[in-house]
Structures are given as structure tokens and as C-alpha cells.
Chain A
Amino acid sequence: MAKILVVDDDPAIRQLLTDVLELDGHEIHLAVDGNDGLRLLELTRPDFVVLDVMMPGIDGYDVLKVIRSQEGDPLPVLMLTASADPGSAARGWVDGVDYYLAKPFTPDVVLDIVDSVCGQRIPTTDGAA
């Protein structure tokens, strides 16, 4: 199961993601802002990061910049945004997020993304050539 770091200043989002991801057997670490996120990034070495864009102090883009400057194979990042602002989404894609999701979102979408990246799903083929 995956080790997931959630970086979001909104306690409701942290709680929601903890509930659904822990139920699926994942190990969750919570950061309350960008600074805390950078600290836990070093400390926990996660497999997957959920990152809020708008945070006081160091924002999501800044944290992403640090993640993308790290050595080795790049870490999968799902960015969360408060509004469906196309400009913000475009910046996220250019800066190198792997997934971009506007709030409010269905927790199942996050579960599905984490499972497709970190899971052991066995593929199937149905005989269509």
C-alpha cells in the first residue's frame, strides 16, 4: 500500500482524505501548510502527494517546484484547487503536476487515481482485436 502525503490548510479536506485513503489501507501523513509539507516530504519520503494550491506562506506551486527539483524518479503529484480556474490549472500543468482536481471533488476520484498509480491491479483484455 502507498504512503501518501496530504498538504492542505483546510482541516475538512485533510479529514476527508484521511478517512477514504486509510480505509483503502494507505498510510497517510498530514501537513497543515506548505512549510509543514516540505518538512514531511523529507521526513516521510511519500509515494504520492496531494497538494493544495492556495495556502498561506509557501503555496502549492512552491512546494511543487521543490518536488520537481528533487533527484531521482519524479514523485506523482495531485494538485487540488478551490475553484475551477482555467488559468490556475494551466499553470499547474506547465509546472508539472500529474493530476489536477477542482474542489469540491468526489473522494472516489482520488482513490481511483492513487490506485491506478500505486496499486497492483491486474489488467484484463476482452478479446476485441
Chain B
Amino acid sequence: MTKPKVLFVDDEPRILDGLRRSLRGKRTEWDMSFAPGGEPALELLAGSNHDVIVSDMRMPGMDGAELLTRVSTQYPAVARVVLSGQAEAEAAIRVAICGHRFLTKPTETETLTAVIDQLIVKTSRAHGTQARRIAGTARALPTLPEQVKELSAALAEQDSDASRLPNAVALDTGLTAKLLQLSNSMFFGARPKNAGIAAVVTAMGVPTIEALVAATANHWSPTTWHPEIEAYLRTTWRHAVATAALVESVASPAHRPYAHAAALLQDIGALAALAGVAGGMPHDVDLADRRCDGVPFREVGVELMHLWGLPAPVAAAVAERDTPHEAAAAGLGVTGAVRIAHLLIQRTEVHDPADGTHDEELQALLAHPQMAARSCDWTAAAHTASERASMLLAV
């Protein structure tokens, strides 16, 4: 088997020498190359298939953001790591859109090697590189025009109504995913533990959110959508928002933040694949079969969550959403809660062909002590959540 290929890019020779020295121990495992700038890096990438690129941000000529943006379109299967000193806000936002992981200089060798080793692993057993290539083209996820409007309004009213912004963010799949990705990095401020999206919004601050909304809005162009794709996105979003609302009561207290995020991101693979379509990428999307170039949307989504380093419980719950769940006696966890909420919401959607095929599983899950102890009419709760989601977006 050939060794994974890792490319390091920095304009300072001393930094490259330092990396070469400190990573000597990985020579038997990785095939490493070093480039003094963006142009030579692209030449090396053209020469052979790489797995991971680690780039500095501030470089003369082509900077890190430009290099990684080019890599995302020309070599989307290459995982993109930013390794940089403190950056100005504007540059940080640019790189936040095109990078997968973010490390600050100086970074301990163990941290750097752990991140690279993680990114060498591909999550899809059946379509490893294919799933990575599709996921790697996505820099930001599409957001519906209504959501952009609500976010802008919430940002404008930040001073008079501080709770409106977290609420608006908590309904936006693309922004939630981006914030969870960035909150995992010291680069964009300290990371709150086990953080719900409200905590992340507070930790990052309004100016960062504002800049991110503006930057990601450029990736959403509703006029280019095929009507079928737009209808699909709306149905998907409605299901996600309804599931997220319901899972707040299904999940146990500590699991609520991640369960909410997982419910909202459950179809992140479809969004990633369709973001590619809007950007003109020649993907072969099959909406009925939920595949892109033959790769199930779910596998694209899990690979993207892995690239972005989203919290493991969130990624696991999304990976398992369509897998019949056998609840552990000790508790449902994030995965079980999301599966239950998904099935309950699915039953409120008559048009779904899968409707009604998981009755036995759902009955068993609802009989779990965690659910049974709280005497709640879960079907009624599902209908309420479903209707509210429909009202938020007339589907």
C-alpha cells in the first residue's frame, strides 16, 4: 500500500525546516513534501494525488485562502488544514470558508499529527475517495432566502433583542454547521465545552457571525436552482427543523445541544451535494435515490462532518439516522434520541414512502424507561413540532 501524501506550505523556510525536523518520526508513515508558496504547492498537487494539505495563511503572492480555495475546486479530495499565527478578522473569515481544520502557530507536534492522522482516514467504507471528493467541494452550505432574511433581521436587532440571533442561527443548517466547525478551534476564540449553538454564538461574538453570514450568503444563489432541487431543499429543511424542535424534549439534558445540532444537520450530505450543483460542479445528482455520483447523500454528509471536525456525537447521530436503533438499557444517547425524533416526525409526513415501516422499532424505543418515565404524548408532540416547522417555512 502507498503511504498517505501530506503537503506543507509556508513562505518561511525556517518554519518548513522546523516542521520537517519535528515530523521526522512520521517519515515511515507519511510521504511528506514541502512547498515555499502557493504556486509550487499547486505544481506538487498536479504531480500526484495528495491526502492532506497544511498551509500558512499569510504568504506573499497567493495567500493561504486563495490557495485553499483553488485546492477546493481543483483537488477537492485533499483535506485542507490551516496552520497560521494570529490573523486579522477579515482574513480569518476568508480562510474559514475554504479550510477544513484550523491550527494556530505554534502548535504542538502531537496536535498537528493527530489532526493529519484523522484526516487521512475516510469515513465511507464503500466510496471513500468519491465521498471525500464530493464533500470537499462544499465550502459552505446553501441557506434558504427566508433564513438569510431572518438572520439579517436578527443581526440588525441584536441590541434590542439578544435572543433572536441564537434562535435564528439554530434554524439555519449551514450556519450551525459552520459555527460548530469553527468553535472547535482556538483560532476563532475559546471553545465552550459540550457547546450548544447558543453558547457558540456568545463565545464567537456578533461581528464574527455577521461576517460569516455575509461571506456564506454569496454561496447561495436561488435563481440557479432547478425547481425540483429547491422543493427538495425545502422539504429537507422542514423535516430537519421539526426533528430539531422535537428532539429537545426527547433527548436528556446534557444531550440536547448536540441532538439539536444533529437533527438540524441530518441531511447535510444532500446540502453539500447540492451546493456543488449550484456552483456548477458536474455532479450527477439523483434526488429520488438520494445519491450524488452514485454515493449516498448520507455518506457525503458524514465525510463532510469528519473533514470539518464536528463533535463526534453529532457526526455519529447523523451517520446512524437511517439505521434501525436498538437502545442501550443505560440510555438513548444523542443517536437514539435523534432516531426517535426522526421517526416520529416522519410519521407526520404522509408523503414519505418510508412512512409507517418502522412501527415496531419505534414502539420499542418509546417503551425505553427514558421515554416511558416521562408521561408524554409523543405523537401529539411530533405533530406540534411538525406544524410549527411548516409555519416557519410555507412548504
Contacts and interface: CB of A to CB of B under 8 A. Distances in A.
B257 A73 contact: yes
Nearest to A90: B373
Interface residues of B, number: 46
A123 B374 contact: no
Interface in A115-129: 116-117, 119-127, 129
A116 B333 contact: yes
Given A77-B254, A89-B373, A90-B369, A126 B331 contact: no
A122 B331 contact: no
Contact of A126 (B126, B255, B315, B316): B126
B330 A127 contact: no
A89 B127 CA distance: 43
Contacts of A122: 118, 121, 123, 306, 312
Given A72-B199, A74-B253, A98-B252, A129 B290 contact: yes
Given A73-B195, A86-B369, A124 B123 contact: yes
Nearest to A46: B193
Interface stretch (B64-72, B228-236, B296-304): B296-304
Question: For the side of the interface on A, what is the size category?
Answer: 35 or more
A129 B254 contact: no
B76 interface: no
A99 B370 CA distance: 9
Interface in A75-100: 75-78, 86, 89-94, 96-100
B330 A125 contact: no
Nearest to A101: B330
Nearest to B127: A127
A109 interface: yes
A116 B313 contact: yes
Contact of A109 (B123, B296, B303, B330): B330
Contacts of B21: none
B319 interface: yes
A113 interface: yes
A127 B126 contact: yes
23 contacts: A68-B253, A73-B192, A73-B196, A74-B256, A91-B373, A93-B369, A96-B253, A97-B252, A97-B331, A98-B331, A100-B331, A100-B370, A116-B312, A116-B316, A123-B302, A123-B305, A123-B315, A123-B316, A123-B319, A124-B124, A124-B319, A126-B125, A127-B125
Interface in A41-97: 47, 68, 72-78, 86, 89-94, 96-97
Contacts of A116: 312-313, 316, 333
A98 B121 contact: no
B291 interface: yes
Contacts of A78: 330
A104 to B, nearest CB: 13
Nearest to B333: A116
A97 B316 CA distance: 21
Given A97-B331, A116-B316, A124-B302, 13 more contacts: A75-B254, A76-B194, A76-B254, A93-B369, A97-B252, A109-B330, A117-B254, A117-B333, A122-B312, A125-B299, A126-B125, A126-B126, A129-B290
B159 interface: no
B254 A127 contact: no
B265 to A, nearest CB: 12
Among B195, B254, B329, the one with the most A-chain Cβ atoms within 10 Å of its Cβ is B254
A119 B316 CA distance: 11
A124 B312 contact: no
Interface in B177-219: 192-196, 199
Given A99-B331, A123-B305, A129-B289, A89 B125 contact: no
Given A76-B194, A86-B369, A116-B333, A127 B299 contact: yes
B312 A123 contact: yes
Interface in B351-380: 369-370, 372-374
Among A75, A124, A126, the one with the most B-chain Cβ atoms within 10 Å of its Cβ is A124
B253 A98 contact: yes
A73 B302 contact: no
A121 B291 contact: no
B73 to A, nearest CB: 25
Contacts of B315: 123
B123 A123 contact: yes
A129 to B, nearest CB: 5
Contacts of B192: 72-73
Q: 5 closest A-B pairs (Cβ-Cβ)?
A: A127-B126, A93-B373, A76-B254, A99-B331, A90-B373
Contacts of A72: 192, 199
A116 B195 CA distance: 16
A129 B321 CA distance: 11
